[in-house]
Amino acid sequence: MRRFIAFALLITMLAIGPAASFAKSSTPRSAQSPVVRAVLFRADWCANCHILEPILEKAMAQAAGVPVELVVLDFTNPASWDQAIEVALDHNVVQTYNAYAGITGLVVLTAADTGERIDCINRTFSEAAIIHVMQQAVSTVRTVPQGQRDRHSAFCPAGRAPL
């Protein structure tokens, strides 16, 4: 039932369009436009998140010059699910939200221009590995044509919707 309500709210928000003002839930980066969005799927009760998040935070701080925007989608409770829908709309990651909503302990790297999935990060990644994958994702967006950027990573779980 919660999925139906979330889906109905998502459809309603799409109908309202950009006229609505949504609160942002992302880590601010430099003034440059992001090339890649790192979409973190998290929840307070998620054990994998407690491992991943501190490592991701350190990696994001060290990779301050990499044009990656962190977008946090929180699935802790029904109210945070509603906020996650708004954040997804605000950051052009609705396709990724639809594919992975409710899965936690995962970061999906998406192209900022098209929203297409590039790669994924989970709790097994070190700080250096996260930085490397983010740099590779930026390089992919800049050099690979749209529609061909998905690296078909083994770290990306199968989503519910085609990416």
Over the stretch 62-82, which tens digit does the pLDDT of each residue have? 988 899 999 999 999 999 989
Identify whether the C-beta of residue 69 lies closer than 8 Å to the C-beta of residue 29. Answer: yes
3-state secondary structure of 37: strand
Name the pLDDT band for 161 (thresholds 50, 70, 90).
Answer: low
pTM of the model: 0.77
Let me know if residue 13 belongs to a domain: yes
Let me know if residue 109 belongs to a domain: yes
Tell me, what CATH number does 127's domain have? 3.40.30.10
Nearest of 7, 2, 3 to residue 94 by alpha carbon? 7
- Total domains in the chain come to 1
For residue 133, give both structure tokens: 């994958």
Name the pLDDT band for 150 (thresholds 50, 70, 90).
Answer: confident
Let me know if residue 113 belongs to a domain: yes
Let me know if residue 156 belongs to a domain: no
The angle formed by the CA atoms of residues 27, 40 and 54, to the nearest 5 degrees, is 70
Let me know if residue 163 belongs to a domain: no
Let me know if residue 38 belongs to a domain: yes
Range of the domain at 41: 2-143
Let me know if residue 122 belongs to a domain: yes
- The phi, psi pair for 154, rounded to 5°, reads -70, -15
Tens-place pLDDT, residues 81-94: 899 999 999 998 99
CA distance 41 to 43: 7
Let me know if residue 50 belongs to a domain: yes
- According to the model, what pLDDT value does residue 3 have? 44
Mean pLDDT highest for which of 31-35, 44-48, 99-103, 111-115?
A: 44-48
In the chain, where does DSSP find H-type helix? 2-16, 47-62, 78-90, 94-100, 127-143
